[in-house]
Amino acid sequence: MEGPPGTVGEAGTFDRRRRTMQSVPPNSSASGAAPATLQWIGGVDGHLRIIDQTRLPEQLVHLDCHDVETVWEAIRNLRVRGAPAIGIAAAYGLCLALQPVATADVATFMDRLDESNRYLATSRPTAVNLFWALDRMNGAARSDRHQESSTVMLETLLNEAHAILAEDQQTCRAIGRHGAALLADGQGVLTHCNAGGLATADYGTALAVFFAAHESGKRLHIYADETRPLLQGARLTAWELQQRGIDVTLICDSTAAQVMREGRVQAVVVGADRIAANGDTANKIGTYSVAVLAAAHDIPFYVAAPLSTFDLALDSGDQIPIEQRAAEEITNGFGLRTAPEGINVYNPVFDVTPARYIRAIICERGLIEPVNREQIATMYQKTQC
């Protein structure tokens, strides 16, 4: 197992990886439907194909990942991003890591499994779906160990990864149905970052609410924060909504208060990367600010997320690890220097919104409202029944 590769553009790291790219016009797909964010190509000896989200909206580029190192790099450098999509990519990455030992003895296979689990877990620290998916894959392998065949265990793991993807597709649709009922025809809705199909296996979480409302005949006007410093709202959310024919207006992050003050926004819907047992929610940096602004203007603030995004081992948001990213994302955004050399930079990629600012959490089982420890526990109890 190689060590973690460096950032994009470093000589001798990602550029040496085995990968292929396919580029198509950004406004087209083979079937006319939205292109798949992730898909497995072939059988047990196949590979993972993802949309390289760093190339959007100018190019729709598919990246073929043939080894675990390429998947690690794709997660780390945001080629694939969004909590559910990260978890799915990690599950398939584990399959790629185990292909070279598919005919080895079980002990060797399990050693590689453990090593690859630890390696993939270092790609990003905040999105709990990453660890949830790895734990689920690990459990599937160990439950199959009595068969004493590495080949069979790899087949089991690939089937488990397929199941994780299929379940996420169903989850996205369910979140969309539950959330759409909260929005009225003609409303303006603000969203932050990207929680659409590009962040999941299918429909998204926050954007699933808009897609479902749109398909039911409701006319919404979406205000998309650009979401600095990497502009996921401008590059990805605006692109996804435009692709589906939904009325969208792009705004600077600092414009959110003004559009609320002007009465243009009647609801806010965002995604999540990790939710603590009490409902405190980590999402892209700037989400906390939007929640406070929504409260100041008496606008309902909703979080859309699957149950796999909850981390009930964490008592509150104070315990959620917050990823810190490179200063260059701010000082040299997209290759252009916009700050003095040597300036100090603080670049947390997430912030935590306290549960008291969240009107409801929209999950695949329905609404968690009010958002508190008891309601979250009740939802989990219903799920286990």
Which residue numbers are catalytic? Answer: 273
Judge whether 36 and 30 are in contact, CB under 8 Å: no
The per-residue DSSP string of 52-67 comes to -GGGTTT-EEEEEE-S
Strand partners, 269: 302
Close Cβ partners of 381 (under 8 Å, ≥ 6 residues apart): none
Judge whether 268 and 148 are in contact, CB under 8 Å: no
∠ CA(207), CA(353), CA(382), 5° rounding?
Answer: 70
Judge whether 267 and 300 are in contact, CB under 8 Å: yes
Close Cβ partners of 375 (under 8 Å, ≥ 6 residues apart): 279, 368, 369
**310-311 sheet: strands from edge to edge:** 310-311, 274-276, 281-284, 350-353
Could you list the beta-strand ranges (E) of the chain. 19-24, 38-41, 47-51, 60-65, 188-191, 221-225, 247-251, 267-270, 274-276, 281-284, 301-304, 310-311, 350-353, 360-363, 366-368
Judge whether 233 and 193 are in contact, CB under 8 Å: yes
Cis peptide upstream of residue 229 (ω within 30 degrees of 0): yes
